[in-house]
Amino acid sequence: MSQSPHSWPRHALTLCASLVQNPVNLGALCRTAEAFRLQELVLPSWQILEDRDFRKVAVSAHHWQPFAVCHNLQLSSWIVERQQQGTTVLALTRHPQGIPLPTFAFPQHTALLIGRELTGIPPLLIDRCDDVVTIPQWGQVESMNVGIAAAIAAYAYVAPPQLASTPN
């Protein structure tokens, strides 16, 4: 008898997308969270689950992925609550004091705060987080799509250490 997909274990990583506004990006984040079997995707509202563009990109991932909701005005309290529960909350953004993702060792229970399109994460929220991780970039463009950045970070969290570095 095979095990039900609902009982398969999930990685203890939460993606917090409360600042993300674009339904297409939220759909991509949903699909990424489900593909990596992440613990939770935090959305800005429940209504996004009914959005046509969200569903188009999420495909069927929204049927399988666990969700929570936190309005962006309540993010500061959400961060503190998670920290009190023993979760390390990280800001994923370009920041002078950011730790490069390839050198970062994720704690087991982690929540990753993802920034708003174009404007990123407000400084007050960055200050509330336990740490800042950044994805090194070498091109002329100073940022990347939130869905792509979250997928890179989620992979870094779930990948076995031997896959995280490539042989010369």
Whole-prediction pTM: 0.90
Contact 121, 91 (CB under 8 A): yes
The pLDDT of residue 136 is 93
Render pLDDT for 94-128 as a digit per residue (tens, 0 to 9).
Answer: 998 999 999 999 999 999 999 998 899 999 999 99
**Cα-based angle 37, 146, 33 (whole degrees, multiple of 5):** 10
Among candidate residues 21, 154, 30, 18, the one with its CA nearest the CA of residue 82: 18
Residue spans of beta strands (DSSP E) within the chain? 11-16, 38-43, 67-69, 88-92, 99-100, 110-114, 131-134
Q: Which of 39-43, 109-113, 135-139 has the lowest mean pLDDT?
A: 135-139
